[in-house]
Amino acid sequence: MNKLLNITLLLLYIICFNLDAQDIQDSVVLRIHYTSQMRYSEEMEKLSPDEKNLDIGKHSSHFYSRWAERNHDIHDSVFSRGGKLEDYYAAIDKSGFPHSKTRFNVFKNYPQKGRLTYTKDMIKQFLYEEPMEIPKWKMLRGDTVIAEYFCKKAKTTFRGRTWIVWYTMDIPYHDGPWKLYGLPGLVLKANDIKGDFIFNCIGIEKGKMQPIIIRKAKYVKCTPEELEKTERLSLSDFDSFVAKMGYSKMQGFDAQGRPLVHKLRVPCLLEYRLKNEK
């Protein structure tokens, strides 16, 4: 009887393990830490800081905000205990992790080779898939050292922006921050020539086999063009954006109790898909 029970428990364990394994397609073997500075609208005078991670697995990779991931973990922890929004913000303040303003994720070769999955949090969670597109690189003269790695220089114009990057051939991964990849080595620094977006490697560590997975959420599936329209609307007409998200008009007030007026802003995007709207 005990032998039969042990066999039954073993079979249940194997079944449960296999079900979990189906969700985990890859695991982190290398983690690259970047600082990032980003401009969200043309009117912004100072770039907004953040920290990013690029998790590289055997078959895929995941680029995301370290701050946003920590914010998500705190959010889940607070609300699982019945907490409220003010409890969440209080926990954020205590955590030492600032509130991230760059809540997007880039999964390369995910869910399969040659595919890219992109998610973004803008009140609702948006998700699209697209074929991976390798930027057309031009090798430039120049070299430097970043994070103790010898780097070479390259340039590309990709979806409306011109980028200068530094990559190292000492780390044999053809990956990099955001959608910048396809060089004979790992991109450790990237910036567009306008100075709107900057990614700079500050450290590299071996992965601890953490799973590379998409966080579970009720995603609104869309196309890249549809997401760009929504991003533009969030800056150019906030009230219409909020209505599109399914909420009534939100009225905020300043310290003197005066109603806040959302000013028209020109979006500053990592990429431009829509013609004649840049």
CA distances from 13 to 10, 16, 18, 24, 134 (A): 5, 5, 9, 17, 42
Q: What percent of the chain has pLDDT over 70?
A: 85
CA-to-CA distance for 84 and 63, rounded, in angstroms? Answer: 29
Residues in the chain: 278
Taking all residues of the chain, what is their mean pLDDT, rounded to a whole number?
86
Instruction: Please identify, in words, the CATH class of the domain defined by 26-223.
Output: mainly beta
Enumerate the domain spans of the chain: 26-223
Q: Is the pTM of this model over 0.95?
A: no
Residue-wise pLDDT for 122-166, tens only, equals 989 999 999 999 999 999 999 999 999 999 999 999 999 999 999
Q: Is the pLDDT of residue 15 over 60?
A: no
Is 228:269 a contact under the CB 8 Å cutoff?
Answer: yes
Quickly list DSSP for 70-91.
HHHHHHHHHHHTT--HHHHHHH
Is 122:129 a contact under the CB 8 Å cutoff?
Answer: no
Residue-wise pLDDT for 215-269, tens only, equals 899 999 999 999 999 999 998 888 888 888 888 766 666 667 777 667 788 889 9
Which one-letter DSSP state was computed for residue 170? Answer: T
